[in-house]
A and B are shown apart, each in its own frame.
Chain A
Amino acid sequence: MNCTECKDLLGAYIEDLLEVSHKKNVADHLGQCPICSGEAEAVRKIQIRLIDDNRGADQSPLKDEIMNQILREQNSRLRTADTTSFVSRLGSAFIKRSIIMIAAVVVILIAVVIGLNSIQDNITFAEIVLPVLNARTLEYDDMNKDWQIVVAHTIVFDRKIRISFSEVPFKDMSYVIDIDSSQLLGLDHIHKTSTITDADIAGIAREDEILRTVRSAIQTALEGPKSAIVELGWQTVDGQDLLGFRFNPGNEGEEVFVWDDPSTEFLERISIINGDPDPNQGYTLNLMNIRFDVPVDASLVEVPPDYRMMHFREFMLRYFEENLLKYLKPWAEYLYDGVFPEITSRDEFLSQFLVGYRLGVSTPEEIKELVISGASLSLPGLFDEYDKLNLDERKKLSGTPIPTMFFYYINLFEAELEYSGGGVPLGDGNSEVFRYRSPDSDSWRVIYGDLHVENDPSK
Chain B
Amino acid sequence: MSKSDRHYIERCLDGHPNDFGYLVDRYTSMIVANLTGKLGNKDHGEEAAQETFVRAYFNINKLKKPDSFYAWLLGIADRIAKEQRRKRQIQLKQEELSSIRETGTAIEQKPDMDLRRAISMLPDAYRKVILLKYYGERSCSQIAEQLEISLFTATKRLSRAYVLLRQSLKLFQGGKSGGAR
Which A positions have Cβ atoms within 8 angstroms of B?
7-12, 15, 17, 39, 42-43, 46-47, 49-54, 56-57, 59, 62-63, 65-67, 69-71, 73-74, 89-90, 92-94, 96-97, 100, 103, 106-107, 134, 136, 158
Q: Report which of B14, B17, B21, B115 forms a contact with A50, defined as CB distance below 8 A.
A: B115
B45-88 with Cβ < 8 A to chain A: 46, 49-50, 53-54, 57-58, 60-62
CA distance A37 to B102 in the complex (A): 32
Specify which chain A residues have a CB less than 8 angstroms from the CB of B53 in the assembled complex. Answer: 66, 70
- The answer to whether A69 touches B159, judged by C-beta atoms less than 8 angstroms apart, is no
- The answer to whether A89 touches B61, judged by C-beta atoms less than 8 angstroms apart, is yes
Q: Taking each of B28, B110, B134, which has the highest tally of chain A beta carbons within 10 Å of its own beta carbon?
A: B134
Task: State the main secondary structure of chain A at its contact with B.
Answer: helix
- The answer to whether B46 touches A62, judged by C-beta atoms less than 8 angstroms apart, is yes
With both chains docked as a complex, state the minimum distance between the C-beta of A60 and any C-beta of chain B, in angstroms. Answer: 9
B165 sits at the interface (CB 8 A) = yes
- The answer to whether A93 touches B13, judged by C-beta atoms less than 8 angstroms apart, is yes
Name the residue on A nearest B46 (C-beta): A62
Specify which chain A residues have a CB less than 8 angstroms from the CB of B58 in the assembled complex. Answer: 70, 73
Q: A15-B140, A70-B17, A93-B60 are in contact. Are A59 and B159 (CB under 8 A)?
A: no
Q: Report which of A42, A62, A100 forms a contact with B49, defined as CB distance below 8 A.
A: A62
Annotate B131-164 by CB proximity to A: 1 below 8 A, 0 otherwise: 0011101001000000000011001111111110
Please report the total number of B residues contacting A with Cβ < 8 Å.
Answer: 49
B112 sits at the interface (CB 8 A) = yes
CA distance A157 to B39 in the complex (A): 33
Name the residue on A nearest B25 (C-beta): A63
With both chains docked as a complex, state the minimum distance between the C-beta of A395 and any C-beta of chain B, in angstroms. Answer: 39
Q: Report which of B14, B54, B165 forms a contact with A66, defined as CB distance below 8 A.
A: B54
CA distance A50 to B162 in the complex (A): 10
CA distance A57 to B166 in the complex (A): 22
Which B positions have Cβ atoms within 8 angstroms of A?
10, 13-15, 17-18, 20-21, 24-25, 28-29, 32-33, 46, 49-50, 53-54, 57-58, 60-62, 110-112, 115-116, 130, 133-135, 137, 140, 151-152, 155-163, 165-166, 169
Specify which chain B residues have a CB less than 8 angstroms from the CB of A71 in the assembled complex. Answer: 17
- The answer to whether B21 touches A63, judged by C-beta atoms less than 8 angstroms apart, is yes
- The answer to whether B162 touches A12, judged by C-beta atoms less than 8 angstroms apart, is no
Specify which chain B residues have a CB less than 8 angstroms from the CB of A136 in the assembled complex. Answer: 18
Specify which chain A residues have a CB less than 8 angstroms from the CB of B33 in the assembled complex. Answer: 53-54, 57
Name the residue on A nearest B158 (C-beta): A11
Name the residue on A nearest B18 (C-beta): A136
- The answer to whether B61 touches A90, judged by C-beta atoms less than 8 angstroms apart, is yes
CA distance A323 to B18 in the complex (A): 42
CA distance A424 to B99 in the complex (A): 83
CA distance A53 to B112 in the complex (A): 6
- The answer to whether A9 touches B159, judged by C-beta atoms less than 8 angstroms apart, is yes
With both chains docked as a complex, state the minimum distance between the C-beta of B39 and any C-beta of chain A, in angstroms. Answer: 15
- The answer to whether B50 touches A100, judged by C-beta atoms less than 8 angstroms apart, is no
Specify which chain A residues have a CB less than 8 angstroms from the CB of B134 in the assembled complex. Answer: 50-51, 53-54
Q: What are some 14 contacts across the A-B interface (CB < 8 A)? A: A9-B156, A9-B159, A11-B162, A39-B166, A46-B115, A50-B130, A54-B33, A62-B50, A63-B24, A66-B50, A66-B53, A67-B21, A97-B13, A158-B18
- The answer to whether A8 touches B17, judged by C-beta atoms less than 8 angstroms apart, is no
- The answer to whether A67 touches B20, judged by C-beta atoms less than 8 angstroms apart, is yes
- The answer to whether B159 touches A10, judged by C-beta atoms less than 8 angstroms apart, is yes
Q: Report which of B17, B25, B133 forms a contact with A134, defined as CB distance below 8 A.
A: B17
- The answer to whether A54 touches B140, judged by C-beta atoms less than 8 angstroms apart, is no
Q: A53-B116, A93-B60, A134-B17 are in contact. Are A11 and B137 (CB under 8 A)?
A: no
Name the residue on A nearest B49 (C-beta): A62
Specify which chain A residues have a CB less than 8 angstroms from the CB of B140 in the assembled complex. Answer: 12, 15, 17
Name the residue on A nearest B139 (C-beta): A15
Q: Report which of B13, B15, B111, B151 forms a contact with A56, defined as CB distance below 8 A.
A: B111
Specify which chain B residues have a CB less than 8 angstroms from the CB of A15 in the assembled complex. Answer: 140, 155, 158
CA distance A141 to B158 in the complex (A): 54
With both chains docked as a complex, state the minimum distance between the C-beta of B120 and any C-beta of chain A, in angstroms. Answer: 13
- The answer to whether A70 touches B20, judged by C-beta atoms less than 8 angstroms apart, is yes
Known pairs A53-B111, A63-B21, A66-B50; list 11 more (Cβ under 8 Å). Answer: A11-B156, A12-B158, A15-B155, A46-B162, A46-B165, A46-B169, A50-B115, A56-B112, A57-B111, A90-B61, A94-B61
- The answer to whether A11 touches B112, judged by C-beta atoms less than 8 angstroms apart, is no
CA distance A100 to B9 in the complex (A): 12
- The answer to whether B13 touches A54, judged by C-beta atoms less than 8 angstroms apart, is no
Q: A53-B116, A70-B57, A100-B13 are in contact. Are A8 and B28 (CB under 8 A)?
A: no
With both chains docked as a complex, state the minimum distance between the C-beta of B160 and any C-beta of chain A, in angstroms. Answer: 8
